Structure formats: C-alpha cells, structure tokens
Amino acid sequence: MMKSHFVVKCRDLRKPAQGFTLIELMVVVAVVALLLALVMPGLMGTLGASKLTQAGDKMAGFLSEAQSRAYGQGRPVEVRFYRVPSSEDSLYGAPVGGFFRGGLMLEYFQPGETDPRTGTAALARPLAVVRQAMVVLPEGTAMSENAQMSTLLGMATRPASQNAAATVETVMKTANGYEPFVPLSEEYRSFVLYPETTSLDSESKWHLAVVPETDAARPPAAVTNYYTLLVDPVTTRLSIYRP
C-alpha cells in the first residue's frame, strides 16, 4: 500500500506545466503597448528638453567665451552666426543652406599691433583671426528664424555686404600655423563685442532663441520649448531665459 502511494506522488511531480494560451499572450502584448503609449510622449519630451538644454548651454558657452576674450585681450571680437545644413532640413522646410546652427568668433588686430603670425612685425592693416573651429548646435536643434524670437538674426545684424570679410584679411589659427580662412557659408549675421560694450543698438533688445529644429521656422505662438540668450548691448552681460 505504501509503495503504491509513493508512485502516484512521483507521477504528479512529472506532470508537465501548462504554457500561456494565445489569448493570454495577446493580453500581455496589449498591456505593454498601452503602457508604452502612455510613457513614450513624456519620455520623448524629456529627451527633447535635455537636448535643447545641451544646445542652449553650448551657445551660451560660446558667447561667454567671446565676451571673455574681448574683455581679456582688450580688442574687438566679432560674433557670427552661420547657416549650417542638416540631414533633417528637408523635413522641416529649412531655407537654402539650412537653419542657423553655427557660431564663429573672429578676433581683430588693429594696425600698429604686433602681427600674431610673426610675433614681431607690426601690422600695416587690420587682421581678423579665427582661433577655433565653428561651434555647431547638436542635431535636431537650431536657432529660431523668427525675428521676434531671435533679434540677433534679423536684418540689423546682416552685414552690408556678404563679402564684407574680404575687406579685412582673415586667417585661421591651426596646428600648423595660420592659414587663409574659408567660411562655410557666405550668409551670416554678426555683431561685435568690445571690451566694455557692443556694436548693437543700445535702444533695442537683443536675444537669440535655440529651439527644436521642428520649431525653427514657426512663429512664437507655436513654440512652447525654447532656450533664450539675452545680450545687453551696453554692458555685454549675457542672461538666460527658459519658459
């Protein structure tokens, strides 16, 4: 009797477990899909905000460095904003050449100053020196094309001639010395930082908005997420505003 009882128990232990039915699997997939649909918009929004902050901080660092160089070296520093093409331009109606994404600074040496290329001879005419490569915003971000959001990209900061740089010899500092500077694009906007002031109209407000590329061509009312840099035209002070 005891032997028979033991055999029955062993057979119960060897009984195969039942798997999930097709209906149960479909329910699990549906629940996972629902959770993803609820979470993804918030997650994408967080990632987008993080990228925008990174882009804004990058441009703020660029402007701060230009300001520091003008003050520290005691000479004019021109800040230029260039159009830089992106692989996503065609999706968002970017103009020819892409949206404004690049920042470049040029340090100006005046006649009589020591030529930085030789370290000895005095300059007979002005010289502009580009000391570092262009700062470019991360993919998926750009400067707003709207004149209200980015007054620094308006007509007031457009050079009288897009070939204005040709009137001043411009070189770029490289590891091998100094080479002729070849701009990425002929279209740019610019202003000059002096040691204690700027070339900007003191009666106007000057700012630059960094936005997701999807919003670069949209009016202010349609843009909810942006990173605005404000430049005081008199003191050169840089401020940051986020909604």
What is the helix, strand, coil percentage profile of the chain, to 5? 35, 25, 40
CA distance 239 to 175: 34
pLDDT at 126: 94
pLDDT at 30: 75
CB 198 within 8 A of CB 233: yes
pLDDT at 8: 47
pLDDT at 142: 96
CA distance 219 to 84: 21
Q: Are strands 141-143 and 135-136 parallel, antiparallel or unpaired?
A: unpaired
pLDDT at 165: 47
Could you identify the residue written with the tokens 């040691």? 195
Which residues share a beta bridge with 169?
127
Residue type, 227: Y
pLDDT at 6: 47
**Which residues, in sequence order, are CB contacts of 59 under 8 Å at separation 6+?**
103, 135, 137, 143, 208, 210, 227, 229
pLDDT at 214: 93
**Residue 198 gets which letter from DSSP?**
B
Start-to-end Cα distance in the chain: 82
Domains of the chain from N-terminus onward? 24-241 (3.55.40.10)
pLDDT at 49: 76
Q: Are strands 135-136 and 188-193 parallel, antiparallel or unpaired?
A: unpaired
CA distance 208 to 202: 16
pTM for the whole thing? Answer: 0.78
pLDDT at 215: 94
Residue 38, Cβ density class (10 Å: 0-12 exposed, 13-18 middle, ≥19 buried): exposed
pLDDT at 190: 95
Mean pLDDT by 10 residues, the chain (243 residues): 49 56 76 68 58 95 96 95 87 86 96 93 94 93 95 91 67 93 87 96 96 94 95 96 88
CA distance 99 to 46: 23
pLDDT at 12: 53
Could you identify the residue written with the tokens 């999807």? 214
pLDDT at 2: 47
